[in-house]
Chains A and B, each alone.
Chain A
């Protein structure tokens, strides 16, 4: 028969027991997260007329806006029209994938905070369920992007791996940020409000709907998402010059950072619950 012990001692005081508990919870969370994902996915479009169309409408709308601006001469970066459409769609798709990965953990914790305050279950499940949601939305957008590339005869099967690696890197960085913020978001509404604002300006400062020139490249490196998006997009559209090295370079620290973030989330969420009140 299973035994549970709850004490005032810090979790890390007995790090082996803590890691064992994380392992047990992760196994449970994998099953539970799937159930939660199905629940949220089913409920998400149940009260809409357009249904699953809402999954693809935002990137289409944004791309059409920039195509319109370009046609009116507001944006002109010297590319051919069809290349511009795909460049914008790719940039927006990668950016949205990253933005969703940042905001989804915060949204998930907010959505489940009344449940967290009243039931003990592996809280990782709500994060995982959110990640599935981000993956699903991303997949739909990438399929749309793939269709556009096929129509304009850009890229090919060789684009899949770099695009996939780029997407995973963006999703990983976004998830780390989101998961770190999520316990704090249960305590302070500033986190959710500030995140929306920050993502808006971050989007403007990221070359997702425009390309950078050589002179500005170093400046964009101050924005860590910028090179990830550029590498991913370049990998997708300019396969002959593409190097997998940057993605491989970030993969290891990313995996370590994800693990550390998970531990920090677990340490933080159990005390953040207290701030949720009765």
Chain B
């Protein structure tokens, strides 16, 4: 293994069973395979089994943070557990250089009846720190977690945030080389999260390596140099954060559209499509493009005072913004047959990611929904890449702006 490489993962795979009985049987089968010296890769996959992680490879170098993105059940935690040596791969190989600390759940092994200090001893010992070193680390750990005043209180009197702080503080002081972080910062408050981020950046600068799992894409963009996207156990992308988010969001598209129509006599939302200005239908754009959203409505009779609302959602970050015809002072008059209503966005402010549009057609009354389609259309913003660490715009929207320097 190259001197700079901290982790090398070669085509690892892990299979699980969908049922409890099957899972127990699989464990027994693996134990038997171990006793009889049989490699599980040679076993065919059973009808109730699936690959939780399948054929995933990557490398992690010193000073690098690799983000892991994927929907729930995409195999992120299983992959981390294989890296931590908790689960044995069914195929492939993992090689790690240095001391590994897995933060799969902050405060693993904490005992609620013991005090903060007593729990530090146990938790740090589980991470492989000697008793003498723990004694030396007690004060820095308590100070990092800001729990000096609670050091002798039993852990059962701690809030979940305080426990998370203590758990992270212990791992942060255990002199690790590789840190595996699985969605553990979600518990702490904003100030603590910032301190953790600062610590992780310092850890990377000192030659450490991190594999970081979070559903918070903004947090991910602030720490990860590179992102690996998992979908149904397989690696679908590895590369820059912006494209990774876009791939991840595209893989997270809802499978079914929900359609509501008050009755057969009301106008119907036939389609919503997007196109570049002057071009044909498209689903992929860039920040700053001029984009037109064309809504086709079919009506059997004439209708007046109809309102159209188009709501834009980010695949992972939720509701972004909406457009409604009354805001522009437009009252829609529908003719029998096909009607097209076009929304023009002069300068697309959305940044890299996958988005969808929900369309609602209202009647005269405030809550009179005639027809609703959710989602009615999908589109992707493919670039440019967001630039974290103070080099450019990062986040979900890019607002048109200018800078002025008065020196």
- Which residues of A are in contact with B by a Cβ distance under 8 Å? 1-13, 28, 31-32, 35-36, 38-39, 42-43, 46-47, 112, 114-121, 183, 187-188, 264, 267-268, 270-275, 277-278
Contact with A along B107-123 (1 / 0, CB 8 A): 01101011000100110
Q: Could you tell me if B84 and A120 are in contact, using CB atoms closer than 8 angstroms?
A: yes
Q: How far is the CB of A44 from chain B (nearest CB, A)?
A: 9
Known interface pairs A36-B122, A187-B27, A273-B87; 8 further A-B residue pairs with C-beta atoms within 8 A, sorted by A's residue number: A1-B98, A3-B1, A4-B94, A4-B100, A8-B40, A42-B114, A43-B111, A275-B23
Known contacts A31-B125, A31-B130; is A43 also within 8 Å of B105 by CB? no
Q: Could you tell me if A119 and B126 are in contact, using CB atoms closer than 8 angstroms?
A: yes
Q: How far is the CB of A187 from chain B (nearest CB, A)?
A: 5
Q: Could you tell me if A119 and B34 are in contact, using CB atoms closer than 8 angstroms?
A: no
Contact with A along B76-112 (1 / 0, CB 8 A): 0100001011111111111111111010110011010
Q: Could you tell me if A119 and B26 are in contact, using CB atoms closer than 8 angstroms?
A: no
Contact of A11 among B34, B85, B94, B105 (CB under 8 A): B34
Which residues of B sit under 8 angstroms from A7, Cβ to Cβ? 89, 92-94
**Is B191 in the interface zone, CB < 8 Å from A?**
no
Q: Could you tell me if B114 and A274 are in contact, using CB atoms closer than 8 angstroms?
A: no
In angstroms, Cα B109 to Cα A5, docked, is: 25
**Is B24 in the interface zone, CB < 8 Å from A?**
yes
Q: How far is the CB of A69 from chain B (nearest CB, A)?
A: 38
Contact of A10 among B33, B114, B125 (CB under 8 A): B33
Which residues of A sit under 8 angstroms from B38, Cβ to Cβ? 10
Q: Could you tell me if B118 and A119 are in contact, using CB atoms closer than 8 angstroms?
A: no
Q: Could you tell me if B86 and A5 are in contact, using CB atoms closer than 8 angstroms?
A: no
CB-nearest residue of chain A relative to B86?
A120
Known contacts A267-B31, A274-B16, A274-B27; is A3 also within 8 Å of B86 by CB? no
**Is B30 in the interface zone, CB < 8 Å from A?**
yes
In angstroms, Cα B110 to Cα A112, docked, is: 11
CB-nearest residue of chain B relative to A278?
B77
Known contacts A36-B122, A115-B126, A272-B31; is A6 also within 8 Å of B85 by CB? yes
**Is B405 in the interface zone, CB < 8 Å from A?**
no
Which residues of A sit under 8 angstroms from B40, Cβ to Cβ? 8
Known contacts A2-B98, A10-B39, A43-B114; is A121 also within 8 Å of B126 by CB? yes
**Is B28 in the interface zone, CB < 8 Å from A?**
yes
**Is B41 in the interface zone, CB < 8 Å from A?**
yes
Of residues 14 through 32 on chain B, the ones whose CB sits less than 8 Å from some CB of chain A are: 16, 23-24, 26-28, 30-31
CB-nearest residue of chain A relative to B154?
A46
**Is B37 in the interface zone, CB < 8 Å from A?**
yes
In angstroms, Cα B92 to Cα A11, docked, is: 14
Number of A-B contacts (CB under 8 A): 140
Which residues of A sit under 8 angstroms from B93, Cβ to Cβ? 5-8
Known contacts A12-B37, A267-B35; is A3 also within 8 Å of B96 by CB? yes
In angstroms, Cα B131 to Cα A275, docked, is: 32
Contact of B88 among A2, A8, A28, A42 (CB under 8 A): A8
CB-nearest residue of chain A relative to B126?
A121
Which residues of A sit under 8 angstroms from B126, Cβ to Cβ? 32, 115, 119, 121
In angstroms, Cα B28 to Cα A248, docked, is: 36
Known contacts A2-B98, A4-B96, A187-B27; is A119 also within 8 Å of B109 by CB? yes
Known contacts A3-B1, A188-B24, A268-B31; is A119 also within 8 Å of B88 by CB? no
In angstroms, Cα B119 to Cα A38, docked, is: 11
In angstroms, Cα B40 to Cα A7, docked, is: 11
Q: Could you tell me if A121 and B128 are in contact, using CB atoms closer than 8 angstroms?
A: yes
Q: Could you tell me if B128 and A46 are in contact, using CB atoms closer than 8 angstroms?
A: no
Contact of A119 among B33, B92, B96, B108 (CB under 8 A): B108
Q: Could you tell me if B86 and A119 are in contact, using CB atoms closer than 8 angstroms?
A: yes
Top 6 A-B residue pairs of the complex, sorted by shortest distance between their CB atoms: A275-B27, A271-B30, A35-B125, A120-B85, A6-B94, A43-B113
Contact with A along B143-185 (1 / 0, CB 8 A): 0000000000000000000000000000000000100000000
In angstroms, Cα B31 to Cα A274, docked, is: 11
In angstroms, Cα B34 to Cα A28, docked, is: 24
Q: Could you tell me if A36 and B30 are in contact, using CB atoms closer than 8 angstroms?
A: no
A-B contact pairs, 8 of them (CB 8 A): A4-B95, A5-B94, A7-B92, A32-B126, A35-B125, A120-B85, A274-B23, A274-B26
In angstroms, Cα B108 to Cα A114, docked, is: 8
CB-nearest residue of chain B relative to A270?
B88
Q: Could you tell me if B108 and A118 are in contact, using CB atoms closer than 8 angstroms?
A: yes
Known contacts A31-B125, A274-B30; is A8 also within 8 Å of B109 by CB? no
Q: How far is the CB of B89 from chain A (nearest CB, A)?
A: 5
In angstroms, Cα B119 to Cα A244, docked, is: 45
Which residues of A sit under 8 angstroms from B108, Cβ to Cβ? 114-115, 118-119
Contact of A6 among B16, B88, B98, B114 (CB under 8 A): B88
Q: How far is the CB of A19 from chain B (nearest CB, A)?
A: 15
CB-nearest residue of chain A relative to B112?
A43
In angstroms, Cα B113 to Cα A8, docked, is: 39
Of residues 210 through 255 on chain B, the ones whose CB sits less than 8 Å from some CB of chain A are: none
Which residues of B sit under 8 angstroms from A9, Cβ to Cβ? 39
In angstroms, Cα B57 to Cα A38, docked, is: 42
In angstroms, Cα B297 to Cα A2, docked, is: 66
Q: Could you tell me if A277 and B34 are in contact, using CB atoms closer than 8 angstroms?
A: no
In angstroms, Cα B35 to Cα A1, docked, is: 31
Contact of B109 among A115, A188, A277 (CB under 8 A): A115
Contact of A268 among B34, B90, B109, B130 (CB under 8 A): B34
Contact of B105 among A1, A116, A118, A274 (CB under 8 A): A118
In angstroms, Cα B96 to Cα A73, docked, is: 70
Q: How far is the CB of B261 from chain A (nearest CB, A)?
A: 41
Contact of B95 among A5, A10, A39, A120 (CB under 8 A): A5
CB-nearest residue of chain A relative to B121?
A35
Which residues of B sit under 8 angstroms from A10, Cβ to Cβ? 33-34, 37-39
In angstroms, Cα B20 to Cα A187, docked, is: 10
Q: Could you tell me if A183 and B31 are in contact, using CB atoms closer than 8 angstroms?
A: yes
Which residues of B sit under 8 angstroms from A115, Cβ to Cβ? 108-109, 126
Most buried by A among B87, B99, B127: B87
Which residues of B sit under 8 angstroms from A117, Cβ to Cβ? 86
In angstroms, Cα B90 to Cα A258, docked, is: 29
CB-nearest residue of chain B relative to A13?
B37
